[in-house]
Structure 1
Amino acid sequence: MTKRLKRSEFMMAYMIIITLACTVGGFFFGAHYMKTSIEAEQAAAMEAKQKEAEKEKLLREQKLYSEQDFIRFYYAVYAPVLEWKQAHFEAMGKWGSLDQKGRTEALKHLEKLAQQTLKELEKNVPLPTSPLLAQAHTHYTNSVRAYLDSMEQIQSDQNSNAATPAVIASGLTLSQNSWLTAQEMVYHSVAAWESAYVVKKPMPEAVPATVTTAQWKQYPFHYRTYLAAQFMSANKRWDSYNPEDLTARLDLLLSSSESQTLGIKDVAAAVKVLHATDAVHSGDFKKLSGKLYSVLNTPEIPLYK
């Protein structure tokens, strides 16, 4: 007679079968999941590549970053935020000479100006050929909103006589970060304009991790200025000057014998020298452009005039 399995043996066999089934099922599920993930990554990479190719095609055909978009963006977005930023740094520059009442009034004025600026930025600005400018508009709006959100704490610090320019700056981190992101996008768009309409060559596919002084000198002006905007972001430099001011100072330094004397090999080191010596100021580009740039093609906006 066939020996019947004991209950414990039957349960053991059953558990082994279930375990094997789960193992095999898990293997095939994992394989399917990995295959799906790889296919999704490949599809995303292909889509990104196609979008980049389409963008390059439109740039070559001069269908992106039209002069009209730059003019519209400048007057509707950039001019108001530059005026607000300038007012902020002018107030900080006078801070030490103001009494308690004067500082309180200065903060109220900055808050009012930020509110007016935000009202301007919340208007629709059609930028049909300039996706980076449209994104910059959003980030500048976020920057001003964050500034206003921080103002209550800053005014509280002022009431307790604890507000200094350094304390105020530390309370504006979110506003500064949004500004620097927007700034990169603006100067990236100008570099794209330069690529399409001036040099008629594609920009580098990726920004080099290290920019040597030799590389810097080979890049066209607006691409250098885009890199300057990136250096400002990397160093968290929300300052009174603009990226073109930093570019002009870098060009002046790197064309001099001083850079060789200092042993400067890359642009990051040059930026550190300029910051350490407080050598960059608002308006440096316009001050130095006649000396540095005999011919310079720019979008027809007052920023470069």
Structure 2
Amino acid sequence: MEKRLNRSDLMFSLAFLLMLVIAVGAFFYGVKVGTDRTESKYATEEVTEAVASPQPNAYQQQDLVSFYHTVFLSYREFQNDWFAAQNKWLADPTADRASSMKELAKSAQKKYDAIKVVNVAPISPQLKNSQTSYLKSLKLFQESFSALVGTANEGTADTVLDKINADSFFKEGRTNALEAQKEYYSSMLKWAASINSDIDGDYVGPEVVSLTDWKKMPLIVKNKLASDYLYKQANLTDYLPHDLTARIDQFISSGQAGKRKIKSFNSIAELLTSTEAVRNGDFIGMKTRFYENEQLPQLPFFFQGK
């Protein structure tokens, strides 16, 4: 015969069940609160860590130096081959220009292959753009020289050079080479701005730069303007933008600008480039005189004997 629960037993059972429900609820609530607090803690730590550890700075000196050795120098070697070939053709009427052009096409392809595999970090977009433009340039030069080999020994050296300079592939290749150079010098300006807050890393010069403004500029800004000028003039040269900068400063220092009543950087640059008064290495020869205290990245072409 079943024993029926009395009132006190029933109340005790209900109280026990209620306590059990509350205990289980409290347990899961505690787990949730603990989880939320832990997630909040780690989220805060991640934010703090992100603030305390900023992203690597673009345009560090090591990036400029690496680019110099892996990209710029490779392209420069091809360009030196091209200028050497021109000088040989002009000096020796019997030179085998067709053979030279085949070698130039091979050189352009070889340098293209070498530069293509170089990893330039996207965090430095102007260096990346420079690499891309050098690659385009070399590919276009290779196509130009390959296409003109067949007629390279016809006529005089001057005739052949005129034909090359008029070739659409060559002209586009020259534009890309000068654009690449301009981007590299702009990257140097970015580097300078990262260590000197007085320098504007995004500086864009006016169409005409007065000599009054030019004289106040840091060397790194002058070099950027010189590279911009060579790009605008489509002037592919064996000298570098800082060589043009040095010759301009020498021209001003000598009093020639005052005597000729020249008032702008542009006018002096036009005079010096049109008269072939700038030479590769001019900067090194004048560095101690004009730029002893100027800040430059440790790139070999800025220093004697490197």
TM-score (norm 1): 0.75
2:166 to 167, 170, 173: 170
Match of 2:238, SS? coil
Amino acid at match of 1:110: L
Match of 1:89, SS? helix
1:45 alignment counterpart = none
Contact 2:126–2:184 (CA under 8 A) maintained in structure 1: yes
1:127 alignment counterpart = 121
Listed as ranges, the matches of 1:50-129 within 5 Å are 63-129=57-123
1:41 alignment counterpart = none
Listed as ranges, the matches of 1:116-265 within 5 Å are 116-161=110-155, 163-171=159-167, 172-198=170-196, 200-203=198-201, 205-265=203-263
Larger Rg: 2
- Kindly provide the CA deviation profile for residues 21-40 of structure 1, in whole angstroms up to 9, marking residues without a partner as x: xxxxxxxxxxxxxxxxxxxx
The separation in 2 between residues aligned to 1:126 and 1:230, in whole angstroms, is 22
The separation in 2 between residues aligned to 1:204 and 1:147, in whole angstroms, is 31
Contact 1:248–1:288 (CA under 8 A) maintained in structure 2: yes
| Offset of residue 197 of structure 1 | 1.5
1:57 alignment counterpart = none
The separation in 1 between residues aligned to 2:238 and 2:149, in whole angstroms, is 22
Contact 1:194–1:200 (CA under 8 A) maintained in structure 2: no
| Offset of residue 303 of structure 1 | 1.9
Identity %: 25
The separation in 1 between residues aligned to 2:148 and 2:247, in whole angstroms, is 33
| Residues 62/246 of structure 1: CA separation in 2 closer, same or farther (3 Å cut) | farther
5+ residue gaps, structure 1, are: 1-60
Amino acid at match of 2:121: L
Contact 1:73–1:127 (CA under 8 A) maintained in structure 2: no
- Kindly provide the CA deviation profile for residues 101-148 of structure 1, in whole angstroms up to 9, marking residues without a partner as x: 532222222122112101101103132542100110000000000001
| Residues 199/287 of structure 1: CA separation in 2 closer, same or farther (3 Å cut) | farther
Match of 1:164, SS? helix
| Residues 143/209 of structure 1: CA separation in 2 closer, same or farther (3 Å cut) | same
5+ residue gaps, structure 2, are: 1-54
Moved more, 182-191 or 148-157: 148-157
- Kindly provide the CA deviation profile for residues 189-222 of structure 1, in whole angstroms up to 9, marking residues without a partner as x: 1111112224643246532121000111111111
Paired residues, what number? 246
The separation in 2 between residues aligned to 1:95 and 1:134, in whole angstroms, is 35
Match of 2:104, SS? helix
1:301 to 299, 302, 306: 299
Match of 2:263, SS? coil
Moved more, 153-162 or 238-247: 153-162
Contact 2:218–2:294 (CA under 8 A) maintained in structure 1: no
